[in-house]
Chain A
Amino acid sequence: MKDSRAIVFLKGALLCGAVVLYLWSLATPPGLVAAVVGTLGAALVAHRLEDAKLRLLSWVVLGAGLGLTGQLAAGVLSAFGSFLPPWFTLMTADALVLGLTTFGFFLALRLLSSRWHVFSIVELAVVVGAVAHAFADHRHMRIHQPRFLSDWAWSHGIEPEPVLSVLGVTAMAVSALLLLRASRARRLLAMVALFLGGILVLLLGEQPRLDVPKADELGVRSNNSDDDQNKNDDPKNQNKRNKPPEPIAIAVLHDDLPETDVLYFRQAVRSKLVGDRLVEDPSGTFDSDVPTRFPAGSPVQVQTPQVPEFHRKLHTSMFLLVDHAQLFGVGFPEALTPVPNPNPRRFVAAYDVDSQFLIRPIERMLGRGTVPAEWSPAQRAHYTEYPPDPRYAELSERLVRDVDPRFVGDDVVKALAIKQYLEKEGFYSLKDKTLEGSDPVAQFLFGDLHGYCVHFAHAAVFLLRSQGIPARVAIGYGVQTQQRGAGSAVLIFANEAHAWPEMFIEGVGWVTFDIAPERSDEPPSPHVDQDLEAALGELARKPPPDTLEDSTPFVIPWALLGFGSLALVSGALVLAFGVKLVRRFGRGSHRRVYRAVLDALSDVGQPRRYGESREHHAQRLAARAPSFVPLTSAHLALAFGHDDAQARAQVDALARATRQELRRSTPFLLRLAGFFNPVGWWFTR
């Protein structure tokens, strides 16, 4: 099953397109041209060699050798071509490397796929991968990238994702050409079916969702697993380090943003001591100020202990891009209300959050107690319990011993002393996310103090509790406000997952008491892509489709479809009859006269069969139209011999006779059907 030359060119063009997409931003123009020439040349040479009894391993080695030769030649040119202009050396080396490498690679690949069909899958993957590579910027929910595509889509009132999806389907459908063999019929039908099937999949299927960030062993979610982190230390995986963080939610602020360095989006709290670590309280007795349930239909309200004098009410709308088991909101959420999802294909959940936001600095809370008198002993014990390791108390005692004598006994000052110690002595590093042993917090605190937010939060909570200060660990996201834009939308990324301590201050409520170590080996977090933030914010603010004021239910335009189909069919019929008439009354050339007779035969279901010679056709119909035999002979004689007026006149006469004979020998109904048959001529051979 050898491909026709047209198919070879098409496949070569597909592979060339893939090469261009891969190399567009990497290669010099001569290099790009050489790569295209090499790819097309490889396709043609492989086609020539398809019938040869090849030793494929030899050709694969030859292909690899060509690639290496290109590298070698480019190296030699660079090393010894100092007398040449640098631009010439660069471009020639590029052309040599890319031309020979692509030629060798695609020659081997094409030969392999001509022998084993499974390698056609590799070719398909190369082409689809090239298209995906060209549009790779859109990944990780960066819907505003690539710019040319998103700008075009938004300027036409459509979102970029469907365009990208259609591109993916088209790339797959077109690349499927690489799977087809020349002898396979109905190629076009296959491609169209595949394309339409793909569009159907798009319509019925869902868009990809990002994975829920994994929780580490201490409960903080992150999009960097330990394995990834370890890999990132490897210089070979530096590109993975450059992998942009995943956006997981967008928060739309309906009020002015309060003055703060970090916006804390609390998701859960851990206050119950189990062994050597804190877990969420499963009893539901404590932490009742933290909403744990999704507001299905009706709002979820919690009793908040936050005192209004120290807080400001904030109203925000949250739009989750990634599924979360527990919802989160800025500050101290006290009410969650479901809202219509403006874009169900993009957002997995949408809800409003009413929360309290602390607006006073902690220094203004000096002198306040930390354990309210109204707390029950159980509540007091719950929030002040810490591991039975005496070192916690010893350390905290040592830390609070040195405070200003004016503030001795002030719990807030004690807390600040602990915070100061941890910030000064601690070293923030994500490399130490896992700790061996049974008590990772103790290992961290009484070890080298190298750790990450979970360690610091737990250590602070245990030290505070050892001083009798109620504290708990909050888990959620901490968004640096300096890194974000000026808009009212706040984009939250998975890498902003955070854990921080909360301490209770009488007359204030729970206070965020985050530890910010002074030393760190982590690079500063990159600036938030403001375009992405703005784009997602815009999408989140759009009213949901079913609440659009001017929206009307979609009605299939049957009348339009009916008239359109009728017009199409009528037009096709008029065209077909037009062609039939033109061909039927063709005069002049013997070919036209003969073709008109053939059309008449086709109309009554007697076309020349596939593989049948003209003479056999005539003989087959000799009983019905005896004149058709001499007509065919005369036509062939004219076609292969000299054309003269006498012979043409003979053909005209024979054609008339044939038609008369055909009329006589064909039943009336069949003749009638033939008369109205608009496409008989289509089957004339």
Chain B
Amino acid sequence: MVHTTSMRQFTARLRRLFPLRVGALVLLLIALGVVFLWSSKEADFLLYPAGLVAMGLVGACALLVTFGTLALRAEVKKLAAGLPESLETLSATGTGFRFSGLRGWPLLDVSLSWVAPSGIEVGLETIDAQLCEVVTAKERGRYTRVVRRFTVDDVFGLCRVSFDVAWDAALRIAPAAAKQGAELAAGRAQGETLANPAGRAEGDLVEMRQYAHGDSMRHVLWKVYARTRKLLVRMPERALSPGPVSVAFFVAGPDDEASAGAARLYVEAGLLGADLLFSADGVSAPARSARDALEQLVDSKVQRARGGDALDDMASQMDPARLTSCLFFAPPVDGPWREKVVGFVRRHQLDASIIIGVDEGGEAPPPPSRLQSWLFRPDETLDVARPTLGKLRAALEAEGLPVTVLHRGTGQVL
């Protein structure tokens, strides 16, 4: 298997370095046939030069692309990574990486893509006669190495050469936050049993009793004493939960970027505190600050295959008696994580609810007609979760878990 993979990689690399594309080979073959077979047999004075031009075209393009690639490689090897420390998904960001892009070379085009990390759309903008990189990340994550792929091809599309250049650079890609609307879910997560997070941990001084020996003179209600001549002191209201009682948990899974965006909105809303914690897959210690929570979100990408595994670790970090409610940010695609979440809620008898973030909203389009399905392929760009989201929602609600589907782009609850 290893051999097959490495052989495949080697072949792919060779293919990237071989300048002639299939079209060029076909054109060359036709031109050779015309020049050396047809024209000498038919004495065709029109096709003969046309064939020569075609051969020359392929040759010139191959030479230009090859030498252009060498020149570009020499240039970009000297350049720094030019990366910002942090990017955000879904927003086009200029990275600061700029190069000449073979501007003086005739008939050549240069394009750029990222091999690693994957899921990055790369565009090039011309500013001051230089090509400037603009990237749009689709997925969050944390990386230490960036591999860019430079592709040089001719304007006729006959020849193409690609080469990769790697830079060691730290890059953090945070999920784009959802637009508002998540407070709705947050409000639902705060049950009546929760203390106001703005209050003091030991509770507010709202109840009274008769003065007893040892009470502080500061707590005596002197106005009451003046009116009634009874010496009363203020005592603290009984605090229901001096420790954390509720937790929001991000379950990593397939296509979870929109849910991560909803979670980011939640953690950045200032709700986290002493009695409301946040945790995500991949970590055991819950976060108490928005900053830590965001880092957990970023790091959770690598846990997609193990979504929900960290729930028990998180529970073990806190007093089970005080863990009364839980808000889950879950991926829109069903998976093993569902069983883990349901089991966790049941074991701890939690008041739980689930928020699922999506990027594609509205009703799924009607199924194509027979003629349409014969003539057109299904739209693969549509959210893969949409067709199964309804089933997932029904399955979760059947387990007693209320589900809120939040559209990341608009903040609408679907």
Q: Are A117 and B157 in contact (CB under 8 A)?
A: yes
Query: Are B44 and A132 within 8 A (Cβ)?
Result: yes
**B150-170 with Cβ < 8 A to chain A:** 155-158
Would B376 and A210 count as touching, CB distance under 8 A?
no
A139 touches B44 (CB 8 A): yes
Of B21, B48, B60, B374, chain A has the most CB atoms within 10 Å of the CB of B48
If A53-B378, A173-B53 touch, whether A140 touches B22 (CB-CB below 8 Å) is no
B272-289 contacts to A, CB under 8 A, are: none
Stretch at the interface among B34-42, B304-312, B352-360: B34-42
**Binary CB contact string for chain A from 596 to 614 against chain B (1 if under 8 A, 0 otherwise):** 0000000000000111000
B48→A184 contact, CB < 8 A: no
Q: Is the CB of A53 within 8 A of B46?
A: no
CB-contacts of B20-57 with A (<8 A) = 21-23, 26-27, 30, 35, 39-50, 52-54, 56-57
Cα A181 to Cα B155 with chains together (Å): 8
Cross-chain contact A132 with B106 (CB below 8 angstroms): no
Cβ–Cβ contact A208 & B40, under 8 A: yes
User: Chain A residue with minimal CB distance to B379?
Assistant: A53
Query: A135–B376 contact, CB under 8 A?
Result: no
Q: How close is A195's CB to chain B, nearest CB, in angstroms? A: 9
CB of B125 closer than 8 Å to a CB of A: yes
Q: Write the nearest CB–CB distance from A22 to chain B, whole angstroms.
A: 15
Expressed in whole angstroms, the Cα–Cα distance for A140 and B60 within the complex equals: 31
Structural contact, A186 and B375, CB atoms closer than 8 A? no
**CB-defined interface of A86-122 with B at 8 Å, one 1/0 digit per residue?**
0000000000000000000000000000000110110
B206 within 8 A of A: no
Note all chain B residues with C-beta closer than 8 A to A53.
Answer: 376-380
What number of A residues sit within 8 Å (CB to CB) of B?
59
Residues of B within 8 A of A128 (CB): 47, 50
Cα A180 to Cα B374 in complex, Å, equals 30
Q: Which of A54, A168, A180, A198 contacts B156 (CB 8 A)?
A: A180
One of B27, B43, B107, B155 near A124 (C-beta < 8 A): B27
Q: Are A171 and B41 in contact (CB under 8 A)?
A: no
* Contact across chains for B56 and A118 when beta carbons are under 8 A apart: no
Query: Is A189's CB within 8 Å of the partner chain B?
Result: yes
**Contact string against A for B residues 100-116, beta-carbon threshold 8 Å, 1 for contact and 0 otherwise:** 00000011010000000
Q: Is B11 an interface residue (CB 8 A)?
A: no
Q: Are B126 and A610 in contact (CB under 8 A)?
A: yes
Known pairs A118-B26, A181-B157; A58 contacts B46 (CB<8 A): no
Does B363 count as interface, using CB distance less than 8 angstroms? no
Report yes or no: B43 in contact with A139, Cβ–Cβ below 8 A: yes
Contact between B26 and A197, CB atoms less than 8 A apart = no
Q: Which of B43-78 contact A (CB under 8 A)?
A: 43-50, 52-54, 56-57, 60
On chain B, the residues within 8 Å of A186 by CB distance are 106-107, 155
Main secondary structure of the interface of A (DSSP, over half): helix
Chain A residues near B23: list those with CB within 8 A. 117-118, 120-121, 179
Q: Which residue of chain A lies nearest to B41 when distances are taken between CB atoms in the complex?
A: A211
A167 touches B46 (CB 8 A): yes
Interface string of A157-191 (1 = CB under 8 A from B): 00011001111110111001001110011110110
Q: How far is the CB of B112 from chain A (nearest CB, A)?
A: 15
In the bound complex, CA of A55 to CA of B26 (Å)? 24
B367 to chain A, nearest CB (A): 15
Contact present for B57 and A194 (CB under 8 Å): yes
State the CA gap A181–B158 with chains docked (Å): 12
Q: Report the minimum CB–CB distance from B101 to chain A (whole Å).
A: 11
Contact residues in A for B380 (Cβ distance below 8 Å): 53
Rounded to whole Å, the gap between the CB of B394 and the closest CB of chain A is: 30
Q: Does B128 contact A (CB under 8 A)?
A: yes
Given contacts A117-B157, A168-B45, contact A190 B50 (CB under 8 A): no
CA distance A198 to B51 in the complex (A): 10
* Contact residues, A320-340 vs B (CB, 8 A): none
Known: A197-B56, A609-B127, A611-B125. A211 touches B155 (CB 8 A): no
Q: Among A59, A62, A140, A185, which residue has its beta carbon within 8 angstroms of that of B155?
A: A185
Determine which of B27, B43, B57 lies in contact with A210 in the assembled complex, contact meaning CB atoms within 8 Å: B43
Q: Are B21 and A171 in contact (CB under 8 A)?
A: no
A201 contacts B157, C-beta separation under 8 Å: no
- Which residue of A has the minimal Cβ distance to B24? A121
Beta-carbon contact of B157 and A165 below 8 Å: no
Q: Mark A378-408, 1 if CB is under 8 A from B, else 0.
A: 0000000000000000000000000000000
Report the Cα distance A360→B49, complex, angstroms: 51
Alpha-carbon gap, A180 to B156, bound state (A): 5
Query: Knowing A201-B52, A208-B40 touch, does A179 contact B46 (C-beta < 8 A)?
Result: no
Q: How far is the CA of A59 from the CA of B376 in the complex (A)?
A: 9
From A52, A59, A135, A173, contact of B46 by CB (8 A): A135
Report the minimal beta-carbon distance from A604 to chain B, rounded to whole angstroms. Answer: 16
**Judging by beta carbons under 8 Å apart, are B379 and A193 in contact?**
no
- The answer on a CB contact under 8 Å between B107 and A165 is no
**In the complex, A610→B132 CA distance in Å?**
13
B39's nearest neighbour on chain A, judged by CB, is A208
Question: Which B residues lie within 8 Å of A168 (CB)?
Answer: 45-50, 53
A234–chain B nearest beta-carbon distance, Å: 19
Q: Pick the residue among A54, A120, A135 that contacts B377 (CB under 8 A).
A: A54
B46 pairs with A131, CB closer than 8 A: yes
Of all chain A residues, the one with the shortest Cβ separation from B26 is A121
Residue A125 lies at the interface, judged by CB distance under 8 Å to chain B: yes
Further contacts, 10 of them, CB under 8 A, given A118-B22, A168-B47, A611-B127: A54-B377, A120-B23, A124-B27, A139-B43, A168-B50, A171-B46, A176-B156, A185-B155, A186-B106, A611-B125
Across the A-B interface, the 8 shortest Cβ-Cβ residue pairs: A208-B39, A198-B53, A168-B50, A168-B46, A53-B377, A208-B48, A184-B155, A164-B45
List 12 A-B residue pairs with CB atoms under 8 Å apart, sorted by A's residue number.
Answer: A55-B376, A128-B47, A139-B43, A139-B44, A168-B48, A168-B49, A181-B155, A197-B56, A198-B53, A207-B45, A610-B126, A611-B125
Which residues of chain A have a CB within 8 Å of any CB of chain B?
52-55, 58-59, 62, 117-118, 120-121, 124-125, 128, 131-132, 135-136, 138-141, 160-161, 164-169, 171-173, 176, 179-181, 184-187, 189-190, 193-194, 197-198, 201-202, 205, 207-211, 246, 609-611
